């Protein structure tokens, strides 16, 4: 995926954050993942239409993409399943994560477009554990 397209995958409810970040040339997922809470607060104060919650979600998606090398769609799926950080992913087991994804699919009454297997989930968790141990 081309880095310039990173913000384009976000849904319409992120439109204000998307336009602000593109205008400020913060469309690189690596730079977005390194934003601190204080920088997000400054962005939110300077552009009142940007919400802190959405900015934190964008940072989490960028962090998953940057650290775990997963697609933004898979990152967004993790967020919707209640996993907002690498640390929270590292404490799960693949079966719990698969169950959360299944619960999300049932509540939305749809199947996710990504084909995620238990071995894929195990690999994500293993990479998250490695990152957490190196910190």
> Residue 63's closest CA among 79, 82, 45?
79
Does the pLDDT at position 4 exceed 60?
A: no
Quote the tokens at residue 101: 């994804």
CA distances from 13 to 9, 49, 54, 65 (A): 11, 11, 9, 20
Residue that the structure tokens 């959360």 belong to = 100
Q: What is the pLDDT of residue 115?
A: 81
- Taking only the tens place, the pLDDT of each residue in 68-109 is 999 888 998 999 999 999 999 999 999 999 999 999 988 988
**2 pLDDT exceeds 70?**
no
Dump pLDDT digits (tens) for 12-42: 999 999 999 999 888 888 899 999 999 999 9
């Amino acid at each position: 995926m081309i880095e310039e397209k990173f913000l384009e995958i976000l849904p319409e409810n992120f439109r204000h954050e998307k336009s602000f970040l593109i205008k400020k040339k913060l469309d690189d997922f690596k730079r977005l993942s390194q934003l601190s809470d204080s920088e997000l607060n400054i962005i939110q104060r300077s552009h009142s239409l940007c919400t802190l919650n959405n900015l934190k979600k964008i940072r989490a998606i960028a962090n998953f993409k940057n650290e775990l090398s997963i697609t933004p769609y898979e990152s967004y799926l993790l967020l919707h399943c209640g996993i907002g950080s690498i640390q929270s992913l590292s404490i799960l087991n693949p079966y719990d994560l698969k169950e959360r994804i299944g619960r999300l699919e049932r509540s939305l009454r749809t199947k996710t477009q990504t084909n995620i297997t238990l071995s894929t989930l195990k690999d994500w968790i293993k990479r998250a554990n490695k990152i957490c141990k190196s910190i």
